[in-house]
Amino acid sequence: MINKVLVVNSGSSSLKFMLFDMKGEKMLAKGLVERIGSPNANLVYSRAGGAKSNSAVSAPDHAAALKAVLAVLVSPDRGVIASLGEVDAIGHRVLHGAEVFKDSVKVDKPVLAKIKKLVPYGPLHMPANIGGIEACMRILPKVPNVAVFDTAFHQTMPPCAAQYALQPKYYKKYGIRKYGFHGTSHKYIVQAAAKWLRKPVSRVNLVTCHLGNGSSISAVKGGKVLDTSMGLTPLAGLVMGTRCGDVDPAVVFSIAKLEGLDADRLDRLLNKESGLQGVTGVAGGDMRDICARAAKGDEACRLALEMFGHRAAFYVGGYNTLVGGADAIVFTGGIGENSSDGREQIMKRLSALGVKIDKKANAKIHGETGLVSTRDSKIPCVVIPTNEELMIARETFRLA
Ligand code: ADP
């Protein structure tokens, strides 16, 4: 019987974790080890409802970081479990499942070998994701591991949505197609929205907007993804914190020629130096800073906000058409859950769909589930906080 599930999100220099008791889906403790590989690695840790603590740890690699996490979880003064024997299963966030993994999977050696072959799909993230799984397999060899892929939920897209209008050899030889990301969040939101609508998942049509530093919107028909705004990589689609989202592909080779930039430099320009940050100069393109400056009359920030809303509304409108009319438009992620201005920028552009914003409710809702459109809005717009870690824990519980 699976009771306690540890969720691990292993990044290049950090390892985030949450421990759940699946009886009642209660979060027991959470935290992260940051600056792995540096001499000043740090463990941030808190128990449910408790204060955050910081402590220096020795974490030259992910295995050492995991040991530090396990040590605090069982420590007599700060821990939440008596022994590591209480950890029944571990769920891992993995960036890319390509077309190999259409669902979460229990990891054994052959599965791990298959995941390793997918490193070229995410050369920055996949090695760290795999490092986290290997560390768990080594340190807790009896505990089952489950891999939950960011791309898996989008694997239901039909070819007309998933394929690019390129010669087929690029797909057949190199796997170049749309994969989509944030799948764990969109899946959680689809389940939560179905519950909110009191409909079975298989009968809901939705437009789900995950808006954070990285943002994506999905078209969901009958509970399944029909299309999503991110593509081969998380660069496509919306205007994001530091990513440009959609541009005419010719922009890329025009800038390359004009400024003599190579592929790596262009990659950095479009992924890390564009989007809200690129337009405004605000570091990280943080929505809070941009809204604050826009309110004070900063023209570049105002423009960035309008661009953000315009692009997002374009996707919402198109996806509403493709799903044959959405039962709800859902906002989630740091911006979707918290930024009244960000949501308003989108909703105010949706009047042709019969969407009517409830300004009072929209100003009030932060980080909680609630309606932000009026009762007579033709499509309800609702905020639902995402919980990717809980979704990973549920997948782990289901498979382990
Ligand atoms: P990530 O994609 O890194 O997980 P998040 O989902 O945490 O990002 O979202 C980060 C974004 O959410 C930032 O742009 C941040 O400004 C915005 N955000 C977070 N809290 C608020 C808030 N209270 N009001 C407005 N924006 C917020």
Residue whose C-alpha is closest to residue 397's, from 13, 97, 24, 9: 24
Q: Report the pocket of ligand 1 as residue ranges, CB < 6 Å.
A: 212-214, 241, 286-288, 333-335, 338-339, 366
**Annotation marks residue 262 as catalytic:** no
Kindly report the pTM of this predicted structure.
0.96
Which H or E run includes 186? helix 183-197
Atom from ligand 1 closest to the CA of residue 210:
6
Q: Give residues with Cβ within 8 angstroms of 247, minimum separation 6.
A: 270
Same topology for domains 4-149 and 183-383, yes or no?
yes
Rounded to whole angstroms, the Cα distance separating 145 from 140 reads 10
Check if the beta carbon of residue 146 is closer than 8 Å to that of residue 396.
yes
Selecting among 88, 150, 227, 376, the annotated active-site residue is 150
Residue-by-residue pLDDT tens, the chain, 400 positions: 889 999 999 998 999 999 999 999 999 999 999 999 999 999 999 999 999 999 999 999 999 999 999 999 999 999 999 999 999 999 999 999 999 999 999 999 999 999 999 999 999 899 999 999 999 999 999 999 999 999 999 999 999 999 999 999 999 999 999 999 999 999 999 999 999 999 999 999 999 999 999 999 999 999 999 999 999 999 999 999 999 999 999 999 999 999 999 999 999 999 999 999 999 999 999 999 999 999 999 999 999 999 999 999 999 999 999 999 999 999 999 999 999 999 999 999 999 999 999 999 999 999 999 999 999 999 999 999 999 999 999 999 999 9
What is the number of the ligand 1 atom nearest to the C-alpha of 366? 23
**Dist. CA 6–CA 109, nearest whole Å:** 20
Between the CA of 339 and the centroid of ligand 1 the distance, in Å, is 8
Q: From the CA of 367, give the closest atom in ligand 1.
A: 23
**Residue type for position 393:** A
Ligand 1 centre to CA of 133 (Å) is 28
* Residue 25: closest CA among 46, 50, 4: 4
Superfamily (CATH) of domain 183-383: ATPase, nucleotide binding domain (3.30.420.40)
Q: At what angle do helices 126-139 and 109-116 cross, to 10 degrees?
A: 160
Contact present, 381 and 132 (Cβ < 8 Å): no
Q: What is the whole-number distance in angstroms between the Cα of residue 337 and the centre of ligand 1?
A: 8
| Ligand 1 center–CA 2 separation, angstroms | 33
The domain made up of 4-149 has a fold known as Nucleotidyltransferase; domain 5 (3.30.420)
**Tokens 């892929």 — which residue?**
149
**Beta carbons of 98 and 179 less than 8 angstroms apart:** yes
Choose the residue to mutate in 239, 240, 289, 338 for probing ligand 1, maximizing ligand atoms within 8 Å of C-beta: 338
Q: What are the extents of the domains in the chain?
A: 4-149, 183-383
Structure tokens at 313: 């509304």
